[in-house]
A and B are shown apart, each in its own frame.
Chain A
Amino acid sequence: MNAALQLAGIRKSFDGALALDGASFESRSGEVHALLGENGAGKSSLMNVAAGLYAPDAGSISINGAPISLSGPALARSHGIGMVHQHFKLVRPFTVAENVLLANPKAHFASGLRDIRDAIKKQVDALKFSIDPDRRIDTMTVAEQQQAEIVKVLVGGARILILDEPTAVLTDAEAIGLLEIVQRLARSGTAVVLVTHKLQDVKRYADVVTIMRGGKTVATLDPRHSTAEELTELTVGQTSALPERTPHQGGPTRLNVGALTYTRADGRTMLNNTSFYVRAGEIYGIAGVSGNGQAELAEALIGAIDPSLGEIWVDGAGDISHAGPSKRREAAIAAIPADRYAYALAGSLPIQDNLAVAQIRSGRYGSIVRLDRAAMRRDAIAAVKDYDVQGVRSVKQKASLLSGGNAQKLVIAREFSREPDVVVAHSPSRGLDARACAAVHQRLIAARERGAAIVLISEDLDEILSLSDRIGVMTRGAIVAEFERPADRQAIGRAMVDHA
């Protein structure tokens, strides 16, 4: 029997960074096929290729054994490939039926809507969903919206259903309900692809699992005949040798985060009694599956959100959990945010302005009525040289013209210019090439040698392992396990998924 969907040797790179490196994948009708991997392993990229959203650089796609080329999402749909994205593609003020009609156009609106409504009712009954075709999307819960998305794809005649992290937005009970439905759907002859990083979902609901790591598909096996340990090992890879370095000396505590709690506007608790401490001359790594509160923790530390409970105590400054950015700067906290273009740089301003802005109140660059441009320029030229920021023709050029890696070096140059006591780095090497990544890591280690306390929040386990003196695993907004260097990669991997 031919595979319903076959992807072979798919390669795809974005701006020179290889996202898919010869990935191969086969999905059969009647099976739930899980695609398991860490963040950035290439799962979503591979499925976006299958859905016609990304054009692969190399490789072949075939449906039921016949090779095809997908030039766009519409063509993929016509071949029966339907994808439910993590971020729903629904028009919120429209009803379910109108959304389905929009994606599956009919010649006439009124009769088309009637047909669509019947088709939706048929699917809803078959899947035991609870949605009403005439309800507006913006009155529905996230789980119901997801049902609407699935129905939309199925009414379009999809025989291959790709679900991208479908349980990420659901509560446990909703997730179980959905996965049971997905299983039933497969039994009735649909080929289902379940993109996930949750091991339990794979163990309980998948017939086959393909594991991806670093843009490659590393194994395809039957999850029921393999242990969680085997799957974890395949997902996170073999432990690579850790770089040698001077052991941590055990300095005084510089940063103490105590029982930090934050509830988002939609009622979800993102930080739930998060507690940890970081000593001088120590890098504290925070590992975890993305969406477990790491982003909120970083935002609370840099002052972008206001935690509802708990404290952020900094040596010499006291509790700063409600302090504004300027107070945090006085407390010698440096921030390297994950989204450097949104939080760290003003892209349309010159490099020298971006560098000077952090110290504009210190008087280093003149007073409120006078700006010492010469000093700004002198410091900027020195910083660009010191931190090896490439691609700078002039310090008056716009910061947005720098590539990702050099923009990050610029942020670090500014943040480290005041010799901070505490550094908060969130995914500091995201999107950087190997050389820039190494440079960033070197800077963090240099700050550690100088005696700074560093919090490193990253979804890249390799980065955490190679840099951290201690590692905390964050799950559901809390630190659930801590490891000393040298930490066991497998143990961390298990801690990350066990509590999820």
Chain B
Amino acid sequence: MIDFLVNWLANAPVTAVPYALAALGLIIAERSGVLNLTAEGLMLVGALAGAGTCLMLGGYPAVALVAAMVAASAVSLLFAVLVVVLRINQVIAGLSVVFFCQGFTGLVGTLAKWQNKQLTGLAPLKIWPLSEIPGIGRIFFQQDPIVYLTILIFFAVNFLLFRTMLGLRIRSVGENPGAADAAGVSVTLHRIFAIVAGSSLIGLAGGYISVVSVKLWVTGMTGGRGWIAVALVVFARWAPWPALAGALLFGCIEALIPQIAAAGIRVPQYLMLMTPYLATIAVMIWVGTKDSGITQEPGALGQPHVREERR
């Protein structure tokens, strides 16, 4: 029983990291008022860029992860131009980017012959002597470096959003672009920055899957994790720490599936796979039935900003 628990929980951080990073990236963009549905596509871009870099360089996973971030940011610039500059419907633009990325990464991965090639990824970091504590050591102190980095990133983004002028401006642009504009804050620039900066984290989430967790590229390998991240943002009410908690919860659920199978217990895996969405729907119902108007949802989420014109 103990073995089962340790095996399960030791695997949970690895499954949780992509959710956590992608959700955090989405939170940055959505706090600026841009409804971002691109995560699934950008994670694929990150995964492909990471795996490709690793295969071409024959290693260097850290470089590969940076490449994943850069690639996702570059693609997100397209999304940013569509929704912020051209003010195209954010849902439609987001979905288009996802479908484009799904096709594009499949094409490039096949043409470059990166499919199913084992790559040298990132090894776990043993924090000695804590790593030698029975059970606890395996769960908390034998994870790969990105797991620990993710926690640092959460602190950094939380600080950025709530303790800096830049964060104040990003949030003001998401809550009331009219007031932000009147206060001299450029709505366009701050939204583009939020999209691109957030997308680098989404790219990292994708790169993590291919370079660290699975250690190869398979077409469509994110398998809907981007959509779970979108749901997770709603679940976490656009706040970083609840998003991390939610990512851990969803990560634990996902990590449970192979453990249950290995233990020979028969539970339909689709039931497990749908639990994150079920949890999100439950949260939305809870929020919807609450009387208070405080939903935490950014006030201008999904609304393109047009300067007030006289009637």
Contact = CB atoms under 8 A, between A and B. Distances in A.
Interface in B180-230: 180, 182-185
Interface stretch (A92-100, A160-168, A249-257, A443-451): A92-100
Contacts of A103: 182-184
B165 A91 contact: no
Given A94-B175, A138-B294, A108 B165 contact: yes
Contacts of A110: 163
Interface residues of A, number: 26
Given A98-B168, A110-B163, A91 B184 contact: no
Nearest to A77: B184
A101 B175 contact: no
Contacts of A54: 310
Interface string B285-311: 000000001100001000000000011
Contact of A90 (B165, B176, B293, B310): B176
A109 interface: yes
A102 B294 contact: no
B307 to A, nearest CB: 10
B5 interface: no
A89 B183 contact: yes
B175 A93 contact: yes
A74 interface: yes
A112 interface: yes
A189 interface: no
Nearest to B173: A91
B182 A91 contact: no
Given A74-B184, A102-B180, A102-B183, A109 B175 contact: no
A73 B185 CA distance: 12
Contact of A89 (B163, B182, B311): B182
A91 B163 contact: no
B156 interface: no
B182 A105 contact: no
Contact of B185 (A77, A88, A102, A108): A102
Contacts of B163: 109-110
Greatest chain A CB density within 10 A among B167, B182, B311 is at B182
Nearest to B184: A74
B172 A94 contact: yes
B242 interface: no
A92 B45 CA distance: 37
B310 A91 contact: no
Nearest to A14: B310
A73 B168 contact: no
Contact of B172 (A74, A91, A107, A109): A91
B16 to A, nearest CB: 29
Interface in A1-43: 14
Interface string A39-53: 000000000000000
A106 interface: yes
Greatest chain B CB density within 10 A among A54, A93, A103, A106 is at A93
A101 B178 CA distance: 16
A431 interface: yes
A431 B165 contact: no
Greatest chain B CB density within 10 A among A77, A88, A92 is at A92
Interface residues of B, number: 22
A90 B184 CA distance: 13
Contacts of A431: 311
Contact of B168 (A90, A107, A109, A138): A109
Nearest to B299: A92
A419 B164 CA distance: 64
A14 B171 CA distance: 33
B95 to A, nearest CB: 23
A427 to B, nearest CB: 12
A54 B176 CA distance: 21
A91 B176 contact: yes
A368 B299 CA distance: 42
B182 A109 contact: no
B253 to A, nearest CB: 31
B107 interface: no
B163 to A, nearest CB: 5
Contact of A102 (B168, B299, B310, B311): B168
A418 to B, nearest CB: 29
Contact of A101 (B168, B176, B182): B168
A109 B169 contact: no
Contacts of B171: 91, 94
Greatest chain A CB density within 10 A among B167, B183, B184, B311 is at B183
A109 B176 contact: no
Contacts of A74: 184
B165 A93 contact: no
B178 A89 contact: yes
Contacts of B185: 102
B175 A102 contact: no
A43 to B, nearest CB: 14
B260 interface: no
A91 B167 contact: no
A99 B182 CA distance: 12
B175 A91 contact: yes
Contacts of A106: 165
B179 interface: yes
Greatest chain A CB density within 10 A among B163, B184, B299 is at B184
A54 B310 CA distance: 10
A88 to B, nearest CB: 8
Given A89-B179, A94-B175, A102 B164 contact: no
Contacts of B178: 89
B176 A73 contact: no
B180 to A, nearest CB: 7
Contacts of B176: 89-92
B165 A105 contact: yes
Contacts of A92: 175-176, 299
Nearest to A44: B310
Contacts of B293: 138
B182 to A, nearest CB: 4
Interface in B83-106: none
A250 B164 CA distance: 71
Interface in B132-191: 163-165, 167-169, 171-172, 175-176, 178-180, 182-185
Nearest to B169: A102
A338 to B, nearest CB: 11
Contacts of B169: 102
A303 to B, nearest CB: 24
Contacts of B310: 14, 54
B180 A73 contact: no
A233 B168 CA distance: 50
A74 B294 CA distance: 32
Top 4 closest A-B pairs, CB basis?
A89-B179, A103-B183, A89-B182, A91-B176
Given A54-B310, A89-B182, A94-B175, 13 more contacts: A73-B182, A73-B184, A89-B179, A89-B183, A91-B180, A93-B175, A93-B299, A94-B172, A102-B180, A105-B165, A105-B184, A107-B165, A112-B165
12 contacts: A77-B184, A93-B175, A93-B299, A94-B175, A102-B168, A102-B172, A102-B179, A102-B185, A103-B184, A138-B293, A138-B294, A431-B311
